[in-house]
């Protein structure tokens, strides 16, 4: 159980276009979803945290207007990279957390990641 | 603010040997949780083991054990009987309370483990 999917797994887009990444919890309701960014050989950097039905909380330095996050339901969150530039090329990972009885220590369940390349 | 330090950017171990990956942390909270994740080259984050700050026993999960020394603020991961499939990046992470709901994780910089024949 506790499976999180991400779609697409990889995407190539042209500079100036927007790209949407979906994160779904398949077998549980995620009260909170997290979006991370990871550059090659580096750690995961939290971009934002979203709760269903409310606005996302962005980490310092993350542009809200560039990285739009929508947590429309308890099983779906989307990250839209608007007006993408080559420096936005990265590995984007989502995770989902629940405060229900599914876990006793509020584990975050990670999606498989999306590799974005902006040309 | 919470901080996680992993001082070993890379480690090598012979197959079937044990290896210890270091992790130290800094927090002012009394209640916290420590996680270890494995990230193979495919990129997925695989949960390995969890230790709560109030847990008296060191956590163990199969070949993984966590050497938790609270006074030293260290939470080292021990992998016994290393296998070639253990070659991956390993991240230590700390759960911190998040007022908005859920629990944020702060990650260390990671240790790249290479298992050799």
Classify burial at A39, counting beta carbons within 10 Å of its beta carbon; exposed 0-12, middle 13-18, buried 19 or more. Answer: exposed
pLDDT digits (tens, 9 = 90+) for A6-60: 999 999 999 999 999 999 999 888 888 999 999 998 999 999 998 888 889 999 9
Distance CA A40, CA A10 (A): 15
Residues of A in contact with B95 (CB under 8 A): 105-106
**Could you report the per-residue pLDDT of B41-98, keeping only the tens digit for each?**
999 999 999 999 998 899 999 999 999 999 999 999 999 999 999 999 999 999 876 5
| pLDDT band with cut points at 50, 70 and 90 for residue A75 | very high
CA-nearest residue of chain A to B94? A107
Average pLDDT over every residue of B26-31: 88
Nearest CA in chain B to A5: B44
d(CA B93, CA B75): 10
Query: Residue B8 pLDDT more than 50?
Result: yes
Residue where the block lists tokens 């500079």: A15
For position A108, what pLDDT does the model report? 85
- Chain A touched by B102 (CB under 8 Å): yes
At a CB cut-off of 8 Å and minimum separation 6, what does A66 contact? A81, A82, A83, A88
How would residue B23 be classed by pLDDT, with cut points 50, 70 and 90? very high
Q: Is pLDDT of B101 > 60? A: no
Residue from B81, B79, B80 nearest B90 by CA = B79
Q: Which residues of B touch A34 (CB under 8 A)?
A: 102, 104-105
pLDDT at A28: 86
Contact B68, B77 (CB under 8 A): no
B102–A110: do the CB atoms touch at under 8 Å?
no
Q: Is the pLDDT of residue A102 over 50?
A: no
Cross-chain residue pair B101–A112, CB shorter than 8 Å: no
- Cβ distance of A46 and B52 shorter than 8 Å: no
Contacts of B52 in chain A (CB under 8 A): 105
Q: Confidence class of residue A99 from pLDDT cuts 50, 70 and 90?
A: low
Q: How far apart are CA B77 and CA B93, in angstroms?
A: 12
Contact A94, A36 (CB under 8 A): yes
Distance from CA of B108 to the nearest CA of A (A): 7
The CA distance from B111 to B91, in Å, is 7
- pLDDT greater than 70 at residue A62: yes
Given an 8 Å threshold on Cβ–Cβ distance, is B101 in contact with A113? no
pLDDT-wise least confident of A100-104, B19-23, B93-97: A100-104
All residues of chain A having their beta carbon less than 8 Å from the beta carbon of residue B51 are none
Residue B102 tokens read as 């859920």
């Amino acid at each position: 159980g506790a499976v999180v999917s991400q779609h697409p797994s990889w995407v190539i887009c042209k500079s100036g276009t927007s790209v949407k990444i979906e994160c779904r919890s398949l077998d549980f309701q995620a009260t909170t979803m997290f979006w991370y960014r990871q550059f090659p050989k580096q750690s995961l950097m939290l971009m934002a945290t979203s709760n269903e039905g409310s606005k996302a909380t962005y980490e310092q330095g993350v542009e809200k207007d560039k990285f739009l996050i929508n947590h429309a339901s308890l099983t779906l969150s989307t990250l839209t990279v608007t007006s993408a530039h080559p420096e936005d090329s990265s590995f984007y990972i989502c995770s989902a957390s629940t405060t229900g009885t599914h876990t006793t220590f509020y584990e975050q369940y990670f999606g498989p990641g999306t590799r974005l390349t902006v040309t | 603010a919470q901080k996680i330090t992993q001082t070993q950017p890379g480690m090598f171990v012979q197959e079937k040997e044990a290896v210890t990956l270091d992790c130290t942390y800094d927090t002012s909270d009394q209640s916290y949780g420590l996680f270890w994740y494995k990230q193979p080259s495919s990129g997925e984050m695989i949960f390995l083991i969890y230790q709560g700050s109030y847990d008296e026993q060191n956590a163990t999960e199969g070949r993984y054990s966590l050497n938790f020394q609270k006074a030293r603020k260290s939470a080292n991961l021990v992998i016994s009987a290393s296998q070639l499939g253990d070659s991956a990046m390993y991240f230590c992470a700390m759960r911190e309370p998040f007022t908005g709901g859920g629990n944020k994780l702060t990650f260390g910089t990671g240790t790249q483990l290479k298992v050799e024949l």
